[in-house]
Structures are given as structure tokens and as C-alpha cells.
């Protein structure tokens, strides 16, 4: 049998080398109850490199991995006949089928096609969804049923997850990273948005990542790491730490979503110090500035209306954060994270590192004017990240 398999793999190798391979399909798992149902292979051009996209079709999810020609043959060798009994190689001019019987007898059949096919090197991106609720972690995280249906009480959360994935994709896609992308998600909580980020970057954008979810609650860290292990997810781990104590050496992207009060500032400071290219945060409560504003008594006319005071504190806190990011060379944007009906914490503050020259004095003046006007002594971010005047 091994002679036939070698001969078949040699045909695959030749078609890959000659650029005649259109696609490949592996079917009929050896084990009837194997979770891996099919394997689809397709040549793709990624960053001008010819690779082979492998779509592993599991019972309830797809996983996509890209390999070069040598890796492709190694994987196929392990799969045939170890995991699958049938394989079809579709080339531009013929279909080459490998059939292995249950008794282990292998045969190869070749059929010429009537009309020559063309190779399509485009990635089937449309097939990989932004976030796929059928992936097992969504069930394990408690957002879907076992069959991958979003539960009624998690519909809003999923809307937020999709919106987040959409925004992050638009921010990250145009960026250039060298090698593995190091990401910290500070105050990661139950991990919903951290898993969405991992899924988006690895499955849809085919990026190599090292994502750390930083979370102070040990019970959450333990639970999430168990899910990561069970699903065999690479490049994702939760770390038990306070944001203040977490100082990554290498950081390309800093995420901090709904980290309470000044924890957002600690996260931003850590991102700026590590030279992160992208900083994305959704601030939560704004107690520090609110208390300073109330204490100063400068805004009596506003402070008597609690709701206005709250809104004012949000705007002042996040405007100063945006100015500080600009001071350190970040181009900032403030955008709506999700419609107000889903959560009042709906602002996303984004900073993208640039090499543009910055008028630091002008920024310092703006910060100083705001502080004076609203009776603020110091914004917490300034205390952890001193600005030189
Ligand atoms: C409101 S949840 C947000 C979770 C997630 N980022 C999201 O947006 O869905 C905030 C999380 O941050 C954690 N947290 C709060 N302060 C922290 C700190 N100083 N260091 C690390 N984690 C913190 C909390 O335990 C909680 O799980």
C-alpha cells in the first residue's frame, strides 16, 4: 500500500510544483467517529508567497492553516492513510483519486477532465466568518447551545462581539507586523472578546499571534485556560495578574476593554511604554476625574445633575487620555463601540502609533486648559506616565 501512497503523494508534489493543482479533498475518516470529517487543500497566494490553505472541517467548526509545499506533503503523509481513506487531487487537466479499502488495499484512478480548469489562488475568505458561533469555545464560554446557536440572553453580547471584531479587523488589516504579533488584553474578564480577537486574527486573517488575557481573578484565569487547552488553541493564554503589575517586554497591540476606572490608564501606560503600535480601549467608569471635578466645586451648576456630571466626567477623562496618546505620537480616534441601547459604556478610544512630528507644547497646553477649566489637579494617566513640559 505504501508504494501507492508514495506514488500518489509524488503526483501531489509535482502538481504543487508545476502550479497545476486546483484543490484537494480528503474524505472518509478512518475512525467513524473522528471529529475531523474532511480536509480541503487549496493553493493560495499570500504576500506573494505560494502556500497551501488547509481547511480542517471538524464536526462543528472549520480551522484554516497555511503551509508551504514541504509542510503540505508532511501533513498529507500523516493523514493518508492514517486519518482518511479517500483523497482526490483536482488538477487543471485531471482528477486523481486515491482509494484505500478497509483492508488497507490502495488504488489510484486518474480521470481526464473535459475542459481545462484554472487555478484560483485567492483565499476563500468569505468562508471564514468574522466570528463563528459554531466554534466550541462559544459553547464552553456559555454563549451558545451545544449546537452552536446563540442563546437568547447572549444575543446582545454577541452583537458586541461582532462589532468589536469588525472594528479590530479594520484597524489591524492595514498594519504591518514583523513575525508573531504580541497582544495583551488587559482586564480580559470572562474572555469573550479575547477569544473573538484570537479567532479573528488566526482563523480569518491567518496571523501568528501571542495573545495574553491579563485578569486579576484566579477563578476566571483557571477556567479560561482549561477551555484553551481543551480546544488546543495556540497563541492564547490567560495570565493571573493585576494590570498594574503586568509589564510585557514585547507588545504590538494593547487592548483594554471595560477595565475599571484608572485600570484603563495603567493599561494605556503599559502599552505606550512598550511601544505598542495599536492601543484600543473602551473605558469603563470614570471615578477619578469625577471625584476631582466634584471636589473642586467649579461646576456646581452641572454637578447637581448626576447624569450630566457623569457624562462630563467621561468626556474629560477620555479627552485627556486621547491627548496623552497624541503626546506620545499616537494618531487617535474616538468612536462608538456599540449602540447605546446595548451598553452605556460605548466609547472606543483608539491610538495608532505614527512617526509624525508632535507639537508637544500645544498638547500640554490643551491638557492644562482642560484641567484648569474643570478643577482637575491631575489626571491619573499623568501620574503613571509623566509628561515633560
Ligand atoms: C467589566 S470586566 C470586562 C471584561 C472584558 N474585557 C469585556 O469587556 O468584556 C473587567 C474585568 O477586569 C478585571 N479587572 C479589574 N481591575 C483589574 C486590574 N486592576 N487588573 C487586572 N484585572 C482587572 C475584572 O476582574 C474583570 O474581570
Alpha helices in the chain (DSSP H): 2-18, 69-79, 136-140, 155-172, 192-199, 218-231, 263-273, 287-296, 300-303, 306-327, 360-374, 380-384
CA of 259 to the centre of ligand 1 (A): 5
Question: Is there a single domain that holds both residue 105 and residue 169?
Answer: no
Task: Count the neighbouring beta carbons within 10 Å of the beta carbon of residue 379.
Answer: 25
Q: Is the CB of 156 under 6 A from ligand 1?
A: no
Does residue 242 line the site of ligand 1, with CB under 6 A?
Answer: yes
CA distance 76 to 313: 59
163 and 197 inside one domain: yes
Do residues 92 and 235 both lie within one domain? Answer: no
Nearest to 207 by CA among 351, 324, 64, 97: 64
Domain boundary among 107, 124, 141: 124
Torsion of CA 59, 131, 269, 246, to 10 degrees: -10
Q: Is the CB of 265 under 6 A from ligand 1?
A: no
- 116 plus 210 within the same structural domain: no
| Residue 389 falls inside a structural domain | no
Residue 104 within any structural domain of the chain = yes
Residues 194 and 93 in one domain: no
Structural domains in the chain (count): 2
259, 283, 284, 345: residue to mutate for ligand 1 pocket, most atoms within 8 A of CB: 259
Please give the backbone phi and psi of residue 180, each rounded to the nearest 5 degrees, phi first: -65, 135
Residues 7 and 149 in one domain: no
Residues 63 and 158 in one domain: no
In the beta sheet, which residues pair with residue 280?
255, 350
User: Residue 364: inside a domain, yes or no?
Assistant: yes
3-class DSSP state of 378 = coil
- At residue 126, the pLDDT reads 47
**Nearest CA, atom 14, ligand 1:** 187
Phi and psi for 296 in degrees, rounded to 5?
Answer: -70, -25
Asked if 54 and 161 sit in the same domain, the reply is: no
Q: What is the CA radius of gyration of the chain?
A: 26
Burial of 318 (0-12, 13-18, 19+ CB in 10 A): buried
pLDDT at residue 310, as a whole number: 85
- Residue 260 Cα, ligand 1 centroid: separation in angstroms? 7
Q: Residue 265 domain-assigned?
A: yes
Residue of minimum CA distance from atom 12 in ligand 1: 187
Ligand 1 centroid–CA 263 distance in Å is: 8
Distance from the alpha carbon of residue 49 to the mean position of ligand 1, in angstroms: 40
Same domain? 172 vs 208: yes
Same domain, yes or no: 344 and 227: yes
Q: What is the mean pLDDT of each run of 10 residues along the chain (389 residues)?
A: 90 94 94 88 87 88 89 96 94 94 91 79 64 92 90 90 93 93 97 97 93 98 97 96 94 94 94 96 86 82 82 91 97 82 75 95 96 92 87
Residue nearest to atom 2 of ligand 1 (CA): 189
Separation of alpha carbons 285 and 194, rounded Å: 21
Q: What is the CATH number of the domain that holds 174?
A: 3.40.50.150
What pLDDT sits at residue 389? 56
| Ligand 1 pocket test target in 168, 185, 216 with most atoms within 8 Å of CB | 216
Asked which of 124, 142, 170 is the last residue of a domain, the reply is 124
**Atom 20 (ligand 1) nearest CA:** 242
Domain that holds residue 119: 2-124
What are the percentages of helix, strand and coil residues in the chain, rounded to 5?
Answer: 40, 25, 35
* Nearest ligand 1 atom, CA 189: 27
Domain boundary among 124, 158, 191: 124
Bridge partner list, 236: 211
Amino acid at each position: 500500500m505504501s508504494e501507492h501512497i508514495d506514488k500518489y503523494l509524488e503526483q501531489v508534489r509535482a502538481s504543487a510544483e508545476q502550479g497545476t493543482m486546483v484543490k484537494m479533498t480528503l474524505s472518509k475518516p478512518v475512525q467513524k467517529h473522528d471529529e475531523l470529517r474532511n480536509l480541503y487543500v487549496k493553493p493560495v497566494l499570500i504576500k506573494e508567497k505560494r502556500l497551501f490553505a488547509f481547511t480542517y472541517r471538524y464536526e462543528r467548526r472549520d480551522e484554516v492553516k497555511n503551509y508551504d509545499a514541504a509542510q503540505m506533503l508532511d501533513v498529507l503523509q500523516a493523514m493518508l492513510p492514517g486519518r482518511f481513506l479517500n483523497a482526490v487531487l483536482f488538477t487543471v487537466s485531471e482528477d486523481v483519486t486515491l482509494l484505500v479499502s478497509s483492508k488497507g488495499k490502495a488504488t489510484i484512478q486518474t480521470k481526464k477532465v473535459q475542459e481545462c480548469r484554472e487555478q484560483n489562488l485567492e483565499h476563500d475568505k468569505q468562508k471564514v466568518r468574522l466570528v463563528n458561533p459554531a466554534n466550541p469555545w462559544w459553547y464552553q464560554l456559555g454563549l451558545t447551545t451545544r449546537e452552536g446557536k446563540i442563546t437568547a440572553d447572549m444575543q446582545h453580547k454577541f452583537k458586541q462581539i461582532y462589532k468589536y471584531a469588525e472594528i479590530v479587523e479594520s484597524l489591524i488589516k492595514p498594519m504591518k507586523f514583523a513575525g508573531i504579533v504580541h497582544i495583551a488584553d488587559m482586564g480580559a474578564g470572562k474572555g469573550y472578546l479575547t477569544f473573538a480577537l484570537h479567532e479573528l486574527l488566526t482563523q480569518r486573517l491567518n496571523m501568528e499571534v501571542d495573545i495574553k488575557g491579563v485578569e486579576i481573578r484566579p477563578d476566571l484565569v483557571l477556567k479560561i485556560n482549561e477551555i484553551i487547552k481543551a480546544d488546543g488553541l495556540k497563541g492564547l493564554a490567560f495570565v493571573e495578574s493585576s494590570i498594574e503589575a503586568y509589564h510585557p517586554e514585547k507588545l504590538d497591540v494593547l487592548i483594554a476593554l471595560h477595565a475599571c476606572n484608572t485600570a484603563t490608564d495603567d493599561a494605556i501606560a503599559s502599552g505606550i511604554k512598550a511601544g505598542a503600535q495599536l492601543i484600543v480601549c473602551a473605558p469603563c467608569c470614570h471615578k477619578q476625574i469625577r471625584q476631582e471635578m466634584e471636589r473642586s466645586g467649579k461646576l456646581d451648576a452641572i454637578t447637581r445633575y448626576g447624569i450630566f456630571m457623569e457624562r462630563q466626567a467621561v468626556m474629560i477623562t477620555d479627552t485627556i487620555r486621547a491627548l496623552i496618546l497624541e503626546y506620545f505620537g499616537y494618531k487617535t480616534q474616538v468612536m462608538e463601540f456599540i449602540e447605546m441601547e446595548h451598553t452605556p459604556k460605548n466609547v472606543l478610544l483608539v491610538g495608532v502609533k505614527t512617526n509624525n512630528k508632535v507639537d508637544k507644547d500645544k498638547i500640554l497646553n490643551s491638557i492644562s486648559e482642560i484641567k484648569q477649566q474643570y478643577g482637575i489637579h491631575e489626571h491619573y494617566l499623568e501620574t503613571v506616565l509623566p509628561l515633560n513640559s
